[in-house]
A and B are shown apart, each in its own frame.
Chain A
Amino acid sequence: MNQKFRLENGGLINRDKKLSFKFNGKTYYGYEGDTLASALIANGVHLVGRSFKYHRPRGFFGAGVDEPYAIVQLYRNNETEPNIKATEQELFEGLEAKSVNCWPSVNFDIGAINNFLKIFLPAGFYYKTFMWPKSFWYRVYEPFIRKAAGLGVASTKHDKERYEHKYEYCDLLIAGSGPSGLASAYAAAKNGARVILAEDKPRFGGSLLTSDVNIGNQSGEDWAKSIISELKEMPNVVVKNRSQVFGYYDHNMLVMSEKVSDHLPKTKKHHPKQRLWYIRAKEVLISSGSIERPIVFGNNDTPGVMLSSAAKEYLKVYGVLVGKNPLVFTNNDSGYETAIEFKKNGINPIILDSRVNPQSEIIDEAINLGIKINFSYVVVAAHGYKKVSSADIAKISDDKKQLGTIENIKCDCICVSGFWTPTIHLASQSGNKTKFKEEIDAFVPGTSKQNETTLGAANGIFTLEETLKDSFIAGQDLSKKITNKDNKISFPNVVEKKSSQHDKFWCVPLPKGKSYKRFLDFQNDVAVSDIEIALKEGYRSIEHVKRYTTLGMATDQGKTSNLNGLQLVSDIENKVVPAVGHTTFRPPYTPISIGAIVGREVGKHSKPTRKSPMHSWHEKNNAVFVDAGVWLRPRYYKQGNETLFEASKREAKNVRTNVGVCDVTTLGKIDIKGPDAAELLNRVYTNAWLKLPVGKARYGVMLREDGIVMDDGTTTRISENHYHMTTTTAQAANVLSHLEYYLQLVWPELNVNVVSTTEQWAGAAIAGPKSRKLLEKLFPKNDVSNEGLPFMGYMESDLFGVKARIFRISFSGELAYEVNVESNNGQFMWEKIIELGQEFQVQPYGTEALSTLRIEMGHVAGSELDGRTISYDTSLEGLISKKKDFIGKRSLNREAFTSSDRQKIVGVIPLDKKTSIPEGSHLVKDAQAPLPNKKLGHISASCWSVEHDNPFSLAILKDGKNMIGEKLFVMSPLKNKVIPVEIVSSHYVDPKGERVRS
């Protein structure tokens, strides 16, 4: 294929490097420096997709971020990515892309029948049609809409690319490298300010790359080049291309997405695909330029109708003609610049200017070049299905209401200019109160809320001289405040052509008897008639009109449609545009890939992983791990072909008959020191703490101020003013913050320090009737008899030369101890326990056996202390001191907490003693009762009791105190189970607690 629309020379592309690429399966060629769009246009390809709603043919409308149509599915290095703008995607060797939103092909698209049904597809069509019958929604409507909607397909494969996040601070962040960005960056950099200059395109210079101007006796393009190369050399300046500042957040934080590798066939080794920059800037200069505004006319969505600035960019940057028989339709001088470029390249354009008799240097130049110009002329409608082939044009009356005789002229593209819309997205996102500038019919930034200044075209300034002047001064002044340096810069001499006033004309009236679709929003298929319907139906607020019609939504965010939409609403409503106001600009300005947002936090890096010092031993001994918060804990140790059920039963049984050892390192540990430590504990826990002797542990329950149980655990008095608190694994961080809150804010007079020591100690629970015998082997020098180390006793010792703490506490309900050693000795401790425990048949046990042991003992854990229960509910009311005040006590006399049929923990056994009870099931009186069946309680935890060899569960049951012996039903609609059960005491094993004291 030859590139028949490529000029012989010119443009900024590298003609020495030819690249091949595929579009919809067909091979084409382009050059290095092309975008996918410029390369396709060079090959004469204008049909790239189908529109969202009516499936009308779609071509190219812009040449960059403003493109509403040319969205493709990209294939790169065996990966696929949707939602890629062909106008932004740089060409690389082997690039493949496909059209989206068309089936079976872009040339023959079945959905295009919607185009003939368009009278049935008015604004709000989906809302109106898919309302009823309700049952159709899931089966018919939703699948249909899902298939019809969307632009492209996300890959379901794991994304192997790397995305990075970077945090950066600077004095000035400058968004956009056009004339205002370059001038302000240069001035600020010369004053020594730390500057970041960001440009979304691959090339720096913005409008200077396409306009015919002169700065300091250089062409605009050369001036931009010299400034950029000087900036790149300065150590205080970061210059970034392919980097879009897309969001302006609170406290001058901006986020920028840098496309590091998207322009390459393959990401280089050790490089990310994209990098997200979080930038905290002292000052922000917004030099984001402006986007050309379309003029609305019939069939203005036909491929070949595009912005005149885009046509000029394809010519000047890429050396590509968008057509060989162009029509330029303009209401201002910008269209002339495009026409002149065509003419200079041997093409004869025709200009239609809606103005009556404009006069300026540029118009004179066009006339002198012999370009045909029709004043007071407009395009009424474009014709041609897959590409423009002709246009209906007509003279228009001075009041712009009457059309003259319509003539049809041949053309292969229509370049439209309806003047310029400043890109105020970033300023608006920062909280800037925008104002309407009558002279340019557009909003510009008004009063700043944050440290932001908007310059140049983004601020509605369209002359180069004024832009440069403003920008040099802004760069100088803002940096001077920060660096206290004042480097004077002499303003360069500027040569530019003066423009005449634009025409406020934006929409061509429909000729009598014609019903051409006149589109406002090209991405979302919103036509003039849709807005008219919305207003007729009573929508007034622009925010409502937007949502009802989808004007300005989706990835486009109204870049080309916003102002024309507002013009129309204000015309119909007989208001002025500022009275209608604009919709909120929300970040991101352009689509950002999910990968970039997530960064490196994927897979196992999505959260930190905490491992106990004994982790590698567990791994070597076939532990199957379970996530406990961010901890990895052994769930069970698999022997042979054991299932979870079999293994946990074996492990639990061994604790009840011999001795087991469990890794309890994950328990929260807080070291508490200070003369008022006992007083703090006394206020935090519900029971009394002032008289706990040194060398003793005590179980305690702490409440929130609203009376709900927050956490439980044991605290041991290590010495006079030193305590060791344990918390549950899950609540460790919250309890520490809780203690800090009261010590720092509520009772600062208490002289106490708290610090987390969870990571400093490795813990092993040794539980079972033979645990004392094992302890004697571990600590032969110590008296660990029932008298020497009684229940709730504490001892410090050494384990074969390693400092150890021994606590006689029990979660399993057996005679049990917890041994702590410093973390780096954890593995040594564990191996010693296993080694010396062999003669007592010691076995490690995991969390599953641990649960079984505590459930059948009726010990509560997180599933009962679920943020909804009070001490009474969990049978911990015996630990409530009547004599002292503590956190949450005043809440306990609330009516609901003291009612006589208050819920309470109970045990549950299936009548058949066989059927396992699913956790989370409901307890009901009558299994046959009509719905909603009154719920009496729920199953909080279930196990297979190893002591009784039948299923056993704990439940929180209404009036549980008086329900022992009752027969109820457990219902689990999720598992489709109904199980008759008997309510028993929650203490199913050793109800008197003799074992722990033996």
Chain B
Amino acid sequence: MLHIKCPYCGMRSQNEFSYGGDASVKRPELNKEISDEEWDNFVYNRKSLRGKHLELWQHLSGCRQWIKVERDTTTHEIFNTYKADEEIS
């Protein structure tokens, strides 16, 4: 079971969180004309990365905040966690 540092609540067990997928995906702006390909990339297409991955988790049984977690998908090492609006260097 992973141990995830919620930027608001501190270190918590994985079972308090729910997984939210790739954090680098940006939703296209509302009312903007975009191609089918761009839309498909947003809705469906994900890279199944091996290694460092920035992903979303929601602290569901805690503060209910969506956070960003930088995790290695092979070793499960967590390098850093960020608030949703935090700058990531």
Contacts and interface: CB of A to CB of B under 8 A. Distances in A.
Contacts of B20: 741
Nearest to A894: B36
A251 interface: yes
A705 B76 contact: no
A201 to B, nearest CB: 27
Given A251-B3, A740-B64, A890-B34, A745 B75 contact: no
Interface string B21-51: 0000001101100100001001110000000
B77 to A, nearest CB: 9
A307 B42 CA distance: 62
A884 B1 CA distance: 44
Contacts of A745: 56, 66, 84
A933 interface: no
A748 B84 contact: yes
B58 A253 contact: no
A24 B25 CA distance: 65
Given A744-B84, A885-B31, A890-B28, A253 B65 contact: no
Contact of A891 (B18, B43, B64): B43
Given A250-B2, A449-B75, A741-B20, A746 B27 contact: yes
B1 A741 contact: no
A737 interface: yes
Contacts of B76: 250-251
B12 to A, nearest CB: 11
A43 B66 CA distance: 65
Interface string A742-786: 001110100000000000000000000000000000000000000
B85 interface: yes
Contacts of B75: 431, 449
Interface string B48-74: 000000001010100011100000000
Contacts, number: 51
A885 B34 CA distance: 13
A885 B78 CA distance: 37
Contacts of A748: 84-85
Interface string A253-279: 100000000000000000000000010
A683 B30 contact: yes
Contacts of B64: 740
A326 to B, nearest CB: 48
Say what secondary structure dominates the interface of chain A: mixed
B18 A744 contact: no
Contact of B1 (A249, A449, A706, A886): A249
B48 to A, nearest CB: 19
A851 B78 CA distance: 48
A705 B18 contact: no
Contacts of B39: 890-891
A289 to B, nearest CB: 27
B17 to A, nearest CB: 12
B1 A251 contact: yes
A741 B66 contact: yes
B65 A744 contact: yes
A390 B14 CA distance: 58
Interface in A423-472: 431, 449
Contacts of A431: 75
Contacts of A58: none
B36 to A, nearest CB: 8
Contact of A706 (B34, B43, B66): B43
B1 A737 contact: no
A276 B50 CA distance: 33
A740 B63 CA distance: 11
B56 A705 contact: no
Contacts of B84: 744-745, 748
Size category, A interface: 20 to 34
B69 to A, nearest CB: 12
B35 to A, nearest CB: 10
A56 interface: no
A280 interface: yes
B1 A740 contact: no
Contacts of B85: 748
Given A737-B60, A885-B30, A744 B66 contact: yes
Contacts of A705: 27, 42-43
Nearest to A891: B43
Contacts of A449: 75
B66 A740 contact: yes
B32 to A, nearest CB: 8
Interface string A713-745: 000000000000000000000000100110011
Q: A251, A705, A741, A885 — which one has the most chain B CB atoms within 10 A of its CB?
A: A251
Contacts of B18: 737
B66 to A, nearest CB: 5
Contact of A740 (B3, B42, B58): B58
A448 to B, nearest CB: 12
A745 B3 CA distance: 23
Interface string A225-269: 000000000000000000000000111110000000000000000
B86 to A, nearest CB: 12
Contacts of B2: 250-251
Nearest to A886: B30
Contacts of B34: 890
Nearest to B56: A745
A748 B60 CA distance: 18
Contacts of A890: 28, 34, 39
A745 B23 CA distance: 9
A741 B34 CA distance: 22
Interface string A934-956: 00000000000000000000000
Contacts of B58: 737, 740-741
A683 B84 CA distance: 20
A972 to B, nearest CB: 35
A452 to B, nearest CB: 14
B24 to A, nearest CB: 12
A683 B29 CA distance: 12
A741 B18 CA distance: 12
A431 B85 CA distance: 34
A759 to B, nearest CB: 15
Nearest to B30: A885
Contacts of A249: 1
B31 to A, nearest CB: 5
Contacts of A744: 65-66, 84
Contacts of A741: 20, 58, 66
Nearest to B33: A890
B7 to A, nearest CB: 12
A873 B27 CA distance: 26
A250 B1 contact: yes
A538 to B, nearest CB: 30
A431 B2 CA distance: 14
A280 B3 contact: yes
A706 B40 CA distance: 9
Contacts of A891: 39, 43
A706 B64 CA distance: 24
Interface string A11-43: 000000000000000000000000000000000
B55 to A, nearest CB: 12
A853 to B, nearest CB: 35
Nearest to A756: B64
B87 to A, nearest CB: 14
A471 B42 CA distance: 54
Contacts of A884: 31
B28 to A, nearest CB: 7
Contacts of A737: 18, 58, 60
B85 to A, nearest CB: 6
Nearest to A431: B75
Given A705-B42, A741-B20, A890-B28, 7 more contacts: A250-B2, A251-B1, A251-B78, A253-B1, A740-B66, A744-B65, A744-B66
The 4 closest A-B pairs by CB, nearest first: A251-B3, A885-B30, A744-B66, A885-B31
11 contacts: A249-B1, A251-B78, A253-B1, A253-B3, A278-B1, A280-B13, A705-B42, A706-B43, A706-B44, A884-B31, A890-B39
